[in-house]
Amino acid sequence: MKTKPLTIGLLVATVATVTYYPAIQEAIATTTKRFNTPPNVINPVALPSIAPNQQPQIEVVFVLDTTGSMGGLIAAAKEKIWSIASTMASAQTAPIIKMGLVAYRDRGDAYVTQTIPLSSDLDSMYAKLMDFQADGGGDGPESVNQALHDAVDNMGWSQNSNTYKVIFLVGDAPPHMDYQDDIKYPVTVALAKQKGIIVNTIQCGQDRSARDDWQHVASLGQGSYFQVEQSGNAVAIATPYDKKLAELSSKLDNTRLFYGNDEEKAKLASKKAATDKLHKEASTESQARRATFNASASGKANLLGENDLVDAVASGRVKLSSLPKKSLPESLQAMPAAAQEAFVGNAKKERSELESEIKQLSEQRNDYLRQKVVADGGKEDSLDAKLYGAIRNQAKDKGMVYGSDSAKY
């Protein structure tokens, strides 16, 4: 009785090997031929077939050079993450959005790579991004190979073939191809292709040797190559709506009531700490961009996390009366049942009003910014325009449609 399933399994494994092995062998040959370095052999792995999810999904990892010359671009990244998220959220059907980050320098620096795995908790990712400063480097090539491999192999990518999975490699120096124990980027990019991950490259500055490698990575990764100024040339325009949106964003965060067991509460306390850090240290403009994202359908996961009592009760997933007292927020534990119900109901009402006001102001802010960008000639060479163009063109293959005015700033 077990012979037939075993035969089918062997057939599937054989087909998968035939399918993926040539791509990896080609990458290995490219590495050896172009750079005259020993190949790093990896075994081909067949990807399981998973039924497509009805809601679109986006997973994006930024692989960011954090050496001393990248100060301007790092500052731009801190300002633009929320507008990038809002742009991705503006698809006709709101997608589930996860982001991750690999920061890299080189051997001998304070670190080689530091990673933040893919998550819909963008607040926590952003709080860590805020800590990165440009330092080290200054001696030519960097550990691009290790950074790319970490991005492809260690970030927790979805195995759903309908997910738009994308890497943006951002830096200004070529990779070290002389490290004998590195997995060279052609092999890593072949693995990315096997996993359905597109690899785009953004070169900062004019280094010719870096340009050759950045273009090669993008061509192997079925992605796009962009070149921007050393500063990133991002759109940075303050608006009359930023301060009010930042204030409303803080009030919206205060409507959250986290519940659960001790482990869940500890995790949510960490999320709250990240949010508090953002309100304290992020620019007013960045907080306004976050408000716009959080009020969108895609931003709900970031705003609420996994155990928000207000949303759980309002949606009917949880009955307040059925929860153990210890699992409730401390502010509710001493209240009688009727007072608890009223408190949660008032929080829901306040949240709805705040979200409505944020959406209205966000539209006014978007209109203001569009007019400014048009007046400045369209900013076609900006980091914003190039990121948006790549996302719009690549995500359509996964069923996501963006309008001509979807870009957020």
CATH number at residue 159: 3.40.50.410
Other residues' Cβ atoms within 10 Å of the Cβ of residue 404: 6
Q: What is the pLDDT of residues 139-154, one digit of tens each?
A: 789 999 999 999 999 9
Same domain, 181 and 40: yes
298 vs 91: CA distance, rounded Å: 10
227 forms bridges with which residues in the sheet?
203
Same domain, 265 and 218: no
Residue 296 included in any domain: yes
Residue ranges of alpha helices (H) inside 36-133 are: 71-89, 122-129
Length of the chain: 409
Boundary-marking domain end, from 228, 250, 272 = 228
- pLDDT given at position 37: 38
380 vs 265: CA distance, rounded Å: 45
Give the closest residue to 31 by CA, choosing from 148, 177, 146.
Answer: 177
Same domain, 217 and 250: no
Residue 387 included in any domain: no
Same domain, 222 and 268: no
Same domain, 71 and 143: yes
The number of folded domains in the chain is 2
Task: Provide the token pair at 359.
Answer: 């959406």
Residue 342 included in any domain: yes
- Which H or E run contains 64? strand 57-65
The pTM of this model reads 0.84
Residue pair 373/379 in contact (Cβ under 8 Å)? The answer is yes
Residue 392 included in any domain: no
Q: What is the pLDDT of residues 85-141, one digit of tens each?
A: 999 999 999 999 999 999 999 999 999 999 999 999 999 999 999 999 999 877 789
Residue stretches of the chain with pLDDT short of 70 = 1-53
- pLDDT given at position 354: 97
Which distant-in-sequence residues (6+ apart) come within 8 Å of 367 by Cβ? none
Same domain, 199 and 268: no
Which distant-in-sequence residues (6+ apart) come within 8 Å of 102 by Cβ? 61, 62, 63, 64, 113, 114, 115, 116, 147, 150, 151, 155
